[in-house]
Amino acid sequence: MNTENFEIKAYPEMWESLNMDVERFDKMRLMLGEIYGKTYLTQKNRPNSMAYFDNMIAEIHGGRIQELLNAKKEGKPVVGTFCVYIPEEIVLAAGGVCVGLCGGSQGSVPDAEKILPRNICPMVKSAFGFKAGRICPYFQAVDFVYGETTCDAKKKTWEILNQMVPTYVMEIPQTKKPSAVDMWLSEVKDFKTKVESIAGSEVTLDKLEEAVKVMNNKRKALQRLNNLRHADPTPISGKDVLLIEQIAFYDEPVRFVAKVNSLCDELEQRIADGVTVQDSSAARIMVAGVPMALPNWKLHNLVEGAGGVIVNEESCIGTRYYKDLMKENTGDMESILKELTRRYMQIDCSCFTPNDERIDQVLKEYKESGAHGLIHYSLQFCHTYNVEEVKIRKACEKQGIPYMFIESDYSPEDVGQIQTRVEAFLEQISE
Say what the pLDDT of residue 3 is.
56
Q: What percent of the chain has pLDDT over 70?
A: 99
Average pLDDT over residues 100-128: 95
Q: Is the backbone peptide bond immediately before 235 cis, with ω within 30 degrees of 0? A: no
Contact 134, 112 (CB under 8 A): no
Say what the pLDDT of residue 430 is.
85
Strands 78-81 and 97-100, by their bridges, are parallel
- Enumerate residues 6+ apart whose C-beta is below 8 A from 362: 288, 314, 374, 392, 395
Q: At what angle do helices 333-344 and 178-199 cross, to 10 degrees?
A: 120
The burial of 165, by beta-carbon neighbours within 10 Å (0-12 exposed, 13-18 middle, 19 or more buried), is given as: middle
Across the chain, what does the average pLDDT equal?
96
Distance, in Å, from the CA atom of 409 to the CA atom of 51, rounded to the nearest integer, reads 29
Distance, in Å, from the CA atom of 241 to the CA atom of 401, rounded to the nearest integer, reads 23
Distance, in Å, from the CA atom of 145 to the CA atom of 139, rounded to the nearest integer, reads 8
**Residue 50 pLDDT > 70, yes or no?**
yes
- Picking from 92, 80, 84, the residue whose alpha carbon sits closest to that of residue 166 is 80
**Residue 2 pLDDT > 70, yes or no?**
no
Average pLDDT over residues 84-96: 96
Q: How confident is the model at residue 251 (pLDDT cuts 50, 70, 90)?
A: very high
The burial of 244, by beta-carbon neighbours within 10 Å (0-12 exposed, 13-18 middle, 19 or more buried), is given as: buried
> Strands, DSSP E only, in 164-222?
167-170
Q: How many CA atoms lie within 13 A of 3 on its CB side?
A: 12
Comparing 73-77, 158-162, 320-324, which segment has the lowest mean pLDDT? 73-77
Neighbour tally for 399: CB within 10 Å: 12
Say what the pLDDT of residue 102 is.
76
**Residue 4 pLDDT > 60, yes or no?**
no
Q: Which amino acid is at 298?
A: K
Say what the pLDDT of residue 98 is.
96
- Picking from 146, 139, 138, 131, the residue whose alpha carbon sits closest to that of residue 59 is 138
Helix (H, G, I), strand (E, B) or coil at 97: strand
| Tens-digit pLDDT profile for residues 186-224 | 999 999 999 999 999 999 999 999 999 999 999 999 999
The burial of 243, by beta-carbon neighbours within 10 Å (0-12 exposed, 13-18 middle, 19 or more buried), is given as: buried
Distance, in Å, from the CA atom of 414 to the CA atom of 181, rounded to the nearest integer, reads 41
**Which region holds residue 289: left if phi is over 0, alpha if psi is between -120 and 50, else beta?**
left
Average pLDDT over residues 292-300: 96
Neighbour tally for 421: CB within 10 Å: 16
Say what the pLDDT of residue 392 is.
98
Distance, in Å, from the CA atom of 38 to the CA atom of 385, rounded to the nearest integer, reads 30
Average pLDDT over residues 248-272: 98
> Strands, DSSP E only, in 152-196?
167-170
Q: At what angle do helices 238-247 and 253-273 cross, to 10 degrees?
A: 160
* Sign (positive or negative) of CA dihedral 86, 87, 89, 94: negative
**Residue 281 pLDDT > 90, yes or no?**
no
DSSP-derived secondary structure letter, 153: H
**Residue 245 pLDDT > 80, yes or no?**
yes
**Residue 402 pLDDT > 80, yes or no?**
yes
- Enumerate residues 6+ apart whose C-beta is below 8 A from 429: 283, 372, 373, 402
Distance linking the first and last C-alpha atoms of the chain: 38
